[in-house]
Structure formats: structure tokens, C-alpha cells
Amino acid sequence: MRVLPAGATIAASFFCPPLFAQFTDPRSYTPGVVGTNDLEFDYTYARANASIDTSLVVGSATLELNKVDVSYTHNFSVLGHFAWVNVIVPYASLRGYVAESNISGSTDGAGDSSLELAALLKGGEALSAAQLASYEQTTCVGVSLTVSVPTGEYDADKVLNLGTHRWSFKPEMGVSYPFGPQQQWEVDGYINAYFFTDDTAYRGVEVLRQEPLPGFEAHLSYTVSSSLWASLDTRYAFRGETVVDGLAQSNSQENLTVGMEAHWSPNSLHSLTLVFARALVHVNAPNYTGVVVKYVYSWGNE
């Protein structure tokens, strides 16, 4: 690999989960059928042009990500409330380029895995398929905890890494409110925050510490038909300043991302989702543009 002298900071920052991940899906905190299972395959293409670490002058840097996620979700009941567990295993390819120095690098391999536990606290009774068919949705409140595990490839001697070499924890609370004729409209509001452990091998010998990165999300979706809905999405995140070997980097983030999503389910077994997202505000955060295609196969819902 040809070395990107200052690009290590770009790669490390870009691959923190909140920066390249898409929104929490709209309509996440709504009831489903207990006992069902989902096997999901996601393809993500993302492009970012950003200098993340304000203590380094990087110039014009470009990162391109191609990523495939395989995930499994199981829905179950907890004290009569709808709940689920989700496991994600990613594989990615990353290309980096600094235009001013004409230097590039690339890497391929496994990314960090994640585990999510979630449950509905209000308006989310555990239902069978027959009960859900006649269920009239109401306001739902749910909570989740997502843990990112440092299983991705990480080599302190390399510039571009797919793993972050640290754990992260994202607690979240979400509210879903259906409204309008036949409840065709739905508005979702989420509040969450990322908390990080230290990377003790940052740039080989340094210790990277990052402050929490809180965020807010809003989603407005419309049901076009029984098999199709679409949404407009936005997320705002801030703070997340980093400290390297005890020295504050004065690089608090501000990031406003907008996007849209379309979800099509021709039957109870298959669904297809298309997501687009773009960063409109990116202070000490990537100027991000990305698309995701998701396919889900479900079973146990007959």
C-alpha cells in the first residue's frame, strides 16, 4: 500500500460507526409478529471528501466505500411487549486518495460487527400474525441498545483500516406516531448517543479518546399502498471531540444529514429498500453521500 501521510486520521474518523452509518430506519419502533425472523443483505456505496482531524492539514481527500452487511433479526416477546435482537456482520472495501499529494491507498476485509437489543415500551404488544392483521396502530415508544464490537481488520502500521479498534455503545429512544386518513402518515422521532472506549493503538502508539456523540433523528413517511411506503429522513449530530494522548484536538463535530427511503414488500417473505443520504452540514465530519440497497427474506410470519 502506498502511504497517505495524514490520511490515517481521515480513515479512523470516517469509520467511526455514526459517521458512515445510515439513519435508524423509519418505522423501526412499531409492532411486528412475534416469532418471525429476518435475514438481510445490504449493499452500501459511500463517498466522502473531508479533513476530519483539524490539527492536521490534509487538503482534498476522497474516500470511497463499498460495503456488504449480512444481518439476522429475531422478534420475540418480553413481558407481553414486542422485542427483537439483531446481529450485523460487515465486509467492506475502502479506497482513499489525497489529490494534493497524488497519494492513494486501499484495503479490503471485515468491518466491526454489531449487536442490537430493542423493545417497545408503549403501544407495542406482542402479537401473532392474525392479531397484527386487525391491529390498529397507536403511538409507540421503544428503546434499544446497539453495541459495536471491534472485530474488524485493524493494523496500527497501516493507514487505512476497516476496524475501529474500540467498542462503541448507542442507546436510543424512539417515538412513532401514525396519523391522517387510514393512518397513512407516520412521524418518528429518535434521540440517541454514541459512547466510545479508547483506541489504545491509534496511529500505532497513541491513545485516542472521543467524547460522546449525541444525535437526533426525524422521519416522515407515507404509505402509498399495502406493499409500498416512502419517507423523508434527517439526522443531526454534534460534539464528539477527540483527545489524542491527553491533547484535545478542538474538533467538535456538527453534522446534518438528510435523505429519503423507499420500502417495497410484495409479500410477507420478501422486501426491498432503497436509501439515499447526503450530509448538508459537515463541520469536522465527512462531506458524505451514500446509497444503500437492502433485501430482506422473512420467515415464521405465516
- Confidence tier at 99 by pLDDT (50, 70, 90): low
Tell me the average pLDDT across 193-205. Answer: 89
Instruction: Give whole-number Cα distances, 184 to 224, 225, 226, in Å.
Output: 8, 9, 10
Cell numbers of 263, please? Answer: 420500502
Give the whole-angstrom CA distance, residue 99 versus residue 63.
11
User: What are the pLDDT digits (tens) for 236-294?
Assistant: 999 989 898 999 988 888 889 999 999 999 999 999 999 999 999 988 877 789 999 99
Q: Is the per-residue pLDDT at 2 higher than 50?
A: no
- Confidence tier at 35 by pLDDT (50, 70, 90): very high
Sequence-ordered alpha helix ranges (H) in the chain? 7-14, 17-20, 129-133
Cell numbers of 110, please? Answer: 471485515
Q: What is the per-residue pLDDT for 4?
A: 38
* Maximum mean pLDDT: which of 22-31, 49-58, 157-166, 260-269: 260-269
The helix/strand/coil state of 136 is: coil
- Whether residue 162 contacts residue 111, with contact meaning beta carbons closer than 8 Å, is answered with yes
Q: What is the per-residue pLDDT for 49?
A: 67
Give the whole-angstrom CA distance, residue 6 versus residue 2.
12
One-letter identity of residue 100: E
Tell me the average pLDDT across 15-44. Answer: 82
pTM above 0.85, yes or no: yes
Q: Would you say the C-alpha torsion 76, 82, 85, 88 has a positive or negative sign?
A: positive
In DSSP notation, 182-209 reads: GG-EEEEEEEEEEEE--EEEETTTEEEE
Q: What is the dihedral of CA 151, 43, 255, 262, to 10 degrees?
A: -140
Cell numbers of 146, please? Answer: 446497539
Question: Could you give all domains of the chain from N- to C-terminal order, each with its CATH number?
Answer: 7-299 (2.40.128.130)
Q: What letter does residue 167 receive in the DSSP assignment?
A: -
- Whether residue 27 contacts residue 223, with contact meaning beta carbons closer than 8 Å, is answered with no
213-225 and 185-196 as β-strands: parallel, antiparallel, unpaired? antiparallel
End-to-end CA distance of the chain: 51
Enumerate residues 6+ apart whose C-beta is below 8 A from 29. Answer: 118, 120, 124, 140, 141, 142, 174, 175, 176, 188
- Whether residue 210 contacts residue 164, with contact meaning beta carbons closer than 8 Å, is answered with no
In DSSP notation, 251-268 reads: --EEEEEEEEEEEE-SSS
Q: Is the per-residue pLDDT at 6 higher than 60?
A: no
Beta bridge partners of 221: 186, 231
- Confidence tier at 38 by pLDDT (50, 70, 90): very high
Cell numbers of 63, please? Answer: 474516500
User: What are the pLDDT digits (tens) for 120-177?
Assistant: 999 988 888 888 878 888 999 999 999 999 998 888 777 677 888 899 999 999 999 9
